[in-house]
A and B are shown apart, each in its own frame.
Chain A
Amino acid sequence: MSDDEELQAPDEPAEARWKETLSALFANRLAAAGVVVLTLLILSALLADVVAPYAFTDDDLTRRLQPPSGAHWFGTDELGRDVFSRVLFGARVSLQVGAVAVGFSLVLGTLIGLVSGYRGGWTDIVLMRAMDVLFSFPVVLLAIAIVAVLSPSLTNTMIAIGVVFTPIFARVVRGSVLSVREEVFVRASRSLGASDWRIISRHVLPNVAAPVIVQTSLSLAFAILTEAALSYLGIGVQPPRPAWGLMLLDAQGFIATGAWWMSIFPGLAIFITVASLNLVGDGLRDALDPKQRSIIQSRGVT
C-alpha cells in the first residue's frame, strides 16, 4: 500500500546538503555575480600591496589632481596620490570594518535575541528594554559617543558600529524565535524528549537564519556607510590611512574644481560592495531554504 510512486528520483545522502546549498547559490546568476565581485574585492584588499601601482602615502605634488589616465587609472588626488591605489587600500579598511563590526553585532545580537525570545518572561522584558534604549539613539550619534569615549581609531570605530547594530539583530532574531517557538515541529521535537539546547540549535536557529542573513547583508552595507560617515566626520579612520569614506570627505572640497574622479571612484566602490553584498545575501537566503532551493534547481532562476 505504499504510495510513494510519485517520489521516484534517487536521493543523495543528507551529508551533501552544503553542496546542494552552494550549487543552488550559484544557480542564481545574480548571486553568483555578487560572489565573484566580492571575491575580487577581498582579494584586491588582501593583495593591495602587490596589486596597487603606488603606495597609499605616495604623494607627489607635481601630479596633483590629474584626471584618469594610463598611468593613474582613477586619476590623482590633491596631494598627487594615486586614487586607484587608495581605493584598493581603502577596501581593506571598509571590508574589515564591515566584517568585524557586523560579525560582532551578529553574534551578540543573535545570542540576545535567542535568549530573549526563547525564555520569554522577565529575561525578555529586561533584555529588550536594554536593546530599546540602545536603539533609540541615532546610530551616528551613539557611534560618536562611543568613539569620543574610547578615542578615535579603527578598532573603536568597529566596536562602536558593532554595538549600534546589536539591537537590530536582537530584534530580528527575537521576532523570528517567537514565531518559530510556537511551531508544531518544535513541540513535536520536545515530545520526542529534545532538550532546549537541541531545539534551539537544530530547529530554531536554522529557521531564523533567513531573516538574519538578509539583515546581515543589509547591515554590512550600512556598516561600510557608517564607517564612511564617521571617517567623513573625522572620528573614524585617521589619515593618511585611506578609507572610502575618508576619501569622499577629501574629495568634497574638489568637486567644484571639476575633480569628479576623486569622489566618483570611492563612491562607486562603496556602491558595488553594497550591491554585491545584497545580492549574495538574497541568494544565500533562498539557497538555504529547501523549498526555494528545489524551485531554483528545477528551473535555474535568473
Chain B
Amino acid sequence: MSAPLLQVEDLSVHFTVGRGRAKQTVRAVDGVDLTLGAGETLGLVGESGCGKTTTGLAILRLVEPTAGRVTFDGTDVRGLSTRDLRRWRRRAAMIFQDPYASLDPRLPVGESIGEALDIHDLHQGTQARRARIGELLERCGLHPRVAGRYPHEFSGGQRQRIGIARALACEPDFIVCDEPIAALDVSIQAQVMNLLGELQSDLGLAYLFIAHDLAAVQHICDRIAVMYLGRVVEEAERLELYRSAQHPYTRALLSAIPIPDPVRERKRERIRLVGDVPSPIDPPSGCRFRTRCPEVFDACERIDPALQAVAGPDHTAACLLHGEVGTEVAH
C-alpha cells in the first residue's frame, strides 16, 4: 500500500473553559488516529459532542490541535507556518453543515466562490474569473447566471451546492464534509449526496464525511470510524461495520437507527442505552463507554482500551471484550 493521503495520529484538542479556579479542560478530541487514501471516503460518525466536527476542524487547523500529528501527502500540517498553512489550504477544503450560516449574506454567491480564486491567484483576468465561477456553479447543478445573486435568494439545498462549488474552487484533493446534508430536507438530501458522489468519481477527491446519520454515511463512505467521547471506538469497511459491529456502542448506535419499514422496525430488538453521554470535562476512567455499556465488566474501569484488530481484515475496535489491550489506569 502506498503512503496514504492523510494520516492522523494521536490527535487531541483540549479547550479550557472558565477562569481562575473554575478553569476546566474539555477533552473534545482525545487521541484520534485516522488514515485516508487518495480518492477515498472515510466516514466519521458519532453523537453530538463526540468530537467528530472538532476532529475535522483540527485536521484543517481551523481549530489548533493540542497534540498529535497530521500528515498530508508528506507534509506535516501542524508544522506549517501561518503563510504556508494558507497556501496549503488550497489542497484541503471544507463543506459546512449549515448552508444558511456558511455563506456571507452580504456577498453575491459568485463572490464567495471567487474568493478562493483570488486568494490563490487562480485566474487570469475578470473574464476568466467569471467563466471559472460559472463553470463551478454549473458543475454543482446551478446556472452560471445566478452568480450575482445573494445567499438569501436560494433554498437550503441550493446554498449547499454553492458551498460545494466554493470548496471545489481551488481544486482540492481532500474535502472535510461536516454534516453536509443534516440541515437539508429529505428530498434534497439525496440530490446533494449524489452530487458529492459524482464529484468524487470525476475529480478523484478524498472525503472525510462527518455525520450522525449512519445510513447516509454508509451509503457514501468506503470506511467508517465511530467516535465516542473524543475517541475512535471502532473502524471498519462500511459493510463490515454494519454486518459485524464489534464495539457495544456501535451496536447500540446501529440498533437505534429507525428503519423505514414498520414490519422490520417493530419486531426488532433495540439495545437500549441508559443515561447520557458523560461530560468530556471529566470522562470516565478506563473505557469511556463503560458507564452506559450493557456489557461492562470489572476490567473496563481499570484499563483504557486501545484500538485492536478484531474480526475481519482492517477492522479495529477499542473494547476489552476482544482482549485486554490498552493502558492500565493509574490509581
Binding site for B on A (CB under 8 A): 1-4, 6-7, 10-14, 17, 183-185, 187-195, 198, 202-203, 206-207, 288-291, 294
In angstroms, Cα B107 to Cα A207, docked, is 10
Q: Do A185 and B141 have beta carbons less than 8 Å apart?
A: no
* B142 & A4 in contact (Cβ 8 Å cutoff): yes
- Give the residue of A192, A195, A202, A294 whose beta carbon is less than 8 angstroms from that of B150: A294
Q: Does B171 contact A (CB under 8 A)?
A: no
- Chain B residues, CB < 8 A from A187: 57, 62, 96, 102
Cβ of B166: which chain A residues have Cβ within 8 Å of it? Answer: 188, 192
Q: Mind listing 20 A-B residue pairs with CB under 8 Å?
A: A2-B141, A2-B142, A3-B141, A4-B143, A11-B145, A11-B149, A12-B148, A13-B148, A14-B147, A183-B101, A184-B98, A184-B102, A187-B62, A188-B102, A192-B93, A193-B90, A195-B119, A202-B115, A206-B104, A294-B152
Q: Is the CB of A202 within 8 A of B87?
A: no
Taken residue by residue from 80 to 121, chain B's Cβ proximity to chain A (1 for < 8 Å, 0 otherwise) reads as 000001111110011011100111111110111001100110
Contacts of B130 in A (CB 8 A): 13
Q: How far is the CA of A291 from the CA of B116 in the complex (A)?
A: 24
Bound-state CA distance A290–B97 (Å) is 23
Q: A207 contacts B105, CB within 8 Å?
A: yes
- In angstroms, Cα B94 to Cα A201, docked, is 22
Task: Say yes or no: A7 contacts B115, CB within 8 Å.
Answer: no
Decide if B86 touches A195 in the complex (CB within 8 Å). yes
Give the residues in chain A near B85, CB-CB below 8 Å. 193
Interface size on B (CB < 8 Å)? 53
B150 touches A291 (CB 8 A): yes
Distance in angstroms from B20 CB to nearest chain A CB is 15
Q: Which residue of A lies closest to B148 (CB)?
A: A11
Any chain A CB within 8 A of the CB of B25? no
Most buried by A among B104, B108, B119: B104
Is B194 a contact of A3 with CB atoms below 8 Å?
no
Instruction: Tell me if B146 is interfacial: C-beta within 8 Å of chain A.
Output: yes
**Minimal beta-carbon separation of A119 from chain B (angstroms):** 14
Residues of A within 8 A of B291 (CB): none
Q: How far is the CA of A218 from the CA of B124 in the complex (A)?
A: 44
Is residue B158 within 8 Å, beta carbon to beta carbon, of the partner chain?
Answer: yes
Chain B residues near A206 (CB-CB < 8 A): 104, 106-107
Bound together, the chains give a CA A185 to CA B103 distance in angstroms of 5
Q: Which residues of A contact B120 (CB under 8 A)?
A: 193
Chain A residues near B107 (CB-CB < 8 A) = 202-203, 206
Give the 9 A-B CB pairs with smallest separation, nearest first: A193-B89, A290-B150, A11-B148, A184-B101, A193-B86, A184-B102, A192-B116, A191-B94, A185-B104
Closest Cβ–Cβ distance, residue B97 to chain A (whole Å): 8
- What are the residues of chain B within 8 A of A288 when measuring CB–CB? 106
Instruction: Give Cα A202–Cα B111 distance, bound, in whole angstroms.
Output: 10
B153 / chain A contacts, CB cutoff of 8 Å: 7, 294
The answer to whether A207 touches B104 (Cβ under 8 A) is yes
Interface check B201, CB cutoff 8 A: no
Q: Which of B145-179 contact A (CB under 8 A)?
A: 145-155, 157-158, 163, 166, 169-170
A-B contact number at CB 8 A: 122
Asked whether B300 is an interface residue with its Cβ less than 8 Å from the other chain, the reply is no
- Looking at the assembled complex, report how far the CB atom of B331 sits from the nearest CB atom of chain A, in whole angstroms: 38
Do A188 and B96 touch (CB < 8 A)? yes
Contact B93 A3 (CB under 8 A): no
B16 at the interface (CB under 8 A from A): no
Q: Which residues of A contact B157 (CB under 8 A)?
A: 3
Whether the Cβ atoms of B104 and A192 lie closer than 8 Å is: no
- Across-interface contacts of A6 in B (CB, < 8 A): 155
- Let me know if A7 and B119 touch, CB within 8 A: no
CB distance from B253 to the nearest CB of A (A): 27
Contacting residue for A14 out of B111, B152, B154, B169, CB 8 A: B111
| Nearest CB in chain A to that of B63: its residue | A187
Is B136 close to A, CB under 8 A?
no
Tell me the nearest residue of chain A to B194, going by C-beta.
A1
Q: Which residue of A lies closest to B91 (CB)?
A: A193
| A289 neighbours in B (Cβ, 8 Å) | 105-106
What distance in Å separates the Cβ of A213 from its nearest Cβ neighbour in chain B? 13
For A11, give its contact among B94, B115, B146, B170 (CB under 8 Å): B146
CA distance A189 to B106 in the complex (A): 14
- Other CB < 8 Å A-B pairs besides A4-B143, A13-B148, A294-B152, 14 of them? A3-B157, A3-B191, A4-B146, A7-B158, A185-B104, A187-B96, A191-B62, A191-B89, A192-B119, A192-B170, A193-B87, A193-B119, A193-B170, A207-B105
CA distance A4 to B134 in the complex (A): 13
Residues from chain A with a CB closer than 8 A to the CB of B110 are 14
Q: How far is the CB of B261 from chain A (nearest CB, A)?
A: 27
Are A4 and B158 interface neighbours, CB within 8 A?
Answer: yes
In the assembled complex, the CB of A82 is this many whole angstroms from the nearest CB of chain B, namely 48
Write the chain B residue with the least CB distance to A288: B106
A10 to B111 alpha-carbon distance, docked (Å):
17
Instruction: Say which residue of A195, A290, A294 sits within 8 Å of B106 (CB atoms).
Output: A290
> Closest A-chain residue to B198, C-beta based?
A1
What are the residues of chain A within 8 A of B169 when measuring CB–CB? Answer: 192
Q: Which residue of A lies closest to B116 (CB)?
A: A192
Tell me how far the C-beta of B152 lies from the nearest C-beta in chain A, rounded to whole angstroms.
4
Interface assignment of B225: CB less than 8 Å from any CB of chain A: no
Residue of A nearest to B83 (CB): A195
Task: Check if B50 is an interface residue, CB within 8 A of chain A.
Answer: no
Q: Shortest CB–CB separation between residue A149 and chain B, in angstroms? A: 39
CB-nearest residue of chain A to B111: A14
Q: Please state if B115 and A192 are interface contacts (CB–CB under 8 Å).
A: yes
